Structure 1
């Protein structure tokens, strides 16, 4: 449920003493929304660390508070904005110590599509997320192995927000839609001026229970602090999902490659399912990642979400990562200090929590 405030703003035009006046009424809306998610987790992060019992925020979905507003400009045109902040429910601290860390945009929409400017996800993210039939959290091994953390892959576009960005979204065209995005990056005026720049697009199609999508992202960075020759990372994602009625199945394939001297590349694939059972859903999934240098990792999860109401759920999950002798994948989303583990270690985690939305 979202709390929506409707505001009627009379615009009096041509008001005269002769009584020959009329009023034009524009409609605006302001929506306040959010998620509050708190959990307890028990995790074996790395080989030299004993299993740890912790309070955790956002293990089903990230806790957040947001505002979304629209003003009808007439003729099918609207002005839009969105401000969203993520926070830790146990400490109250905003993620990254940034106020609107989950996006801040303003834009215009029309029958021909929409244009937004600000801090936002780039197009490839929505294709990646669309294959996650549960939620983007511990529930999904593709999240565990999201390829988004800087230690392994940098900002590939599959996750994370991008500042100084602009995007265009097409209207729905018989189930087809597309999005083009560009980020100006760090906006260095001189040396290493291309740092953090991104451009990408996606193509999506939805008809009935079927959804498929493709996304690509081109990210530029510098291999060290002395070079002025930018390197690139190009990431491709193909995703799909299908609602069979008795269950929902989703999957994706991702490939990314860098152009610097490391010649880094990686691929990953994921399959997950959501199966209604009793008053809730069973969520299961498996993912695999392959990197250059022989690193291989598998991730597995199983969980259950119990619906107390449409807005409030109890949940419990277990997840396991199986690294080979060259792989160092850890639970970076559960503990940022443990995104990388000792080669060959196999971390595991269990969690239970409560999530509510408004």
Structure 2
């Protein structure tokens, strides 16, 4: 839950032909999240994805770890007049169980933008690629906890700069027109990788959401994501279809999920099947979870994630990996 904690008002003097207002308003918002719980994982040898999943070859373990990454962020905006605004967002991620900072301090987001309600938004910096949004919005957990299909399934193993965020991005987001919006972006490689280009088209109106997104680094590294969800009131079913090419191999994923409001809580469920090119290598993951809202900012949750991967590891048939988590989340 974000709230404004600092507001600065600055006086600007009009000069001939500047068009600047006499009073330019600016503010900065500080926000964040602390998320920590207890997770138990068995000794299965299948890969288990999710926000706090572990590779399925580490043996049985108990951990104190997050369901979603803890974070500290700053957002700023300034009214430039004539319907134009300038702003920025930077967001840091850290491990709340140890206090360790992520090696990339502003890993989550680091960008600046110009925005017009009539024209749209131009942004520059480290930001999520356009294909991220359809993938995120059709995951019942929004990529959090051991229950979520998460990045590995929803992006069908595709990565850019370690996740779904592009460094050195220049992007444009349209205003919303009758429920439709679009986003295009180019992320310069700057010797670290090939230049990446991406785009999405989304529709959100009433109970219906639908989105299509693409991202491409080269002929052998690209992803296409299509997803939809429909809110029936008592349940919100959703699906995602992802087709990627990673390291010259084709990968397909299909996720079916649902979220169900239950009083002050939300029940979530999903099944995702990841099918890389080749035989005997599928991964099927089941997720189930419940989050109970103690307030608008604080909740407790419990989730189960279970995955079975075909094939063998060190000559032995892979076994099912299952994890459960119980946690507390507070946003500010």
The alignment's TM-score, normalised by the length of structure 2, stands at 0.87
After superposition, the Cα gap between the structure-2 partners of 1:158 and 1:249, relative to the gap in structure 1 and judged at 3 Å, is farther
Q: Give 1:160's match in structure 2, choosing from 160, 164, 169.
A: 164
Work out whether residues 236 and 259 of structure 2, in 8 Å CA contact, stay in contact via their aligned partners in 1: yes
Query: What is the distance in 2 between the residues matched to 1:12 and 1:156?
Result: 45
Counting matched residue pairs gives: 313
Q: Give 1:107's match in structure 2, choosing from 113, 131, 153.
A: 113
Which position in structure 2 is the counterpart of 1:226?
A: none
Query: What is the distance in 1 between the residues matched to 2:193 and 2:223?
Result: 17
Which position in structure 2 is the counterpart of 1:19?
A: none
Which position in structure 2 is the counterpart of 1:334?
A: none
Query: What is the distance in 1 between the residues matched to 2:160 and 2:91?
Result: 22
Following superposition, the deviation at residue 212 of structure 1 comes to 0.2
Matches within 5 A, 1:42-191: 42-44=40-42, 46-47=44-45, 49-57=58-66, 59=67, 61-95=68-102, 97-110=103-116, 111-138=118-145, 140-143=147-150, 145-146=152-153, 153-155=157-159, 159-185=163-189, 187-188=190-191
Residue 234 of structure 2 is aligned to residue 246 of structure 1: yes
After superposition, the Cα gap between the structure-2 partners of 1:355 and 1:157, relative to the gap in structure 1 and judged at 3 Å, is same
Q: Bigger relative contact order, structure 1 or 2, given CA contacts below 8 A and separation 6+?
A: 2
SS in 2 for 1:126: helix
After superposition, the Cα gap between the structure-2 partners of 1:78 and 1:341, relative to the gap in structure 1 and judged at 3 Å, is farther
Unpaired stretches in structure 1, ≥5 consecutive residues: 15-22, 189-193, 221-230, 329-339
Following superposition, the deviation at residue 79 of structure 1 comes to 0.6
Residue 224 of structure 2 is aligned to residue 205 of structure 1: no
Following superposition, the deviation at residue 38 of structure 1 comes to 0.4
Following superposition, the deviation at residue 158 of structure 1 comes to 11
Query: What is the distance in 1 between the residues matched to 2:234 and 2:146?
Result: 19
Query: What is the distance in 2 between the residues matched to 1:144 and 1:219?
Result: 17
Unpaired stretches in structure 2, ≥5 consecutive residues: 16-20, 46-56
Query: What is the distance in 1 between the residues matched to 2:86 and 2:169?
Result: 18
Which position in structure 2 is the counterpart of 1:347?
A: 321
Which position in structure 2 is the counterpart of 1:25?
A: 23
Work out whether residues 201 and 212 of structure 2, in 8 Å CA contact, stay in contact via their aligned partners in 1: yes
Query: What is the distance in 1 between the residues matched to 2:71 and 2:182?
Result: 27
Following superposition, the deviation at residue 3 of structure 1 comes to 2.6
Following superposition, the deviation at residue 296 of structure 1 comes to 1.1
Work out whether residues 29 and 76 of structure 2, in 8 Å CA contact, stay in contact via their aligned partners in 1: yes
Q: Give 1:219's match in structure 2, choosing from 217, 220, 224.
A: 217
After superposition, the Cα gap between the structure-2 partners of 1:144 and 1:198, relative to the gap in structure 1 and judged at 3 Å, is closer
After superposition, the Cα gap between the structure-2 partners of 1:217 and 1:45, relative to the gap in structure 1 and judged at 3 Å, is farther
Following superposition, the deviation at residue 135 of structure 1 comes to 2.7
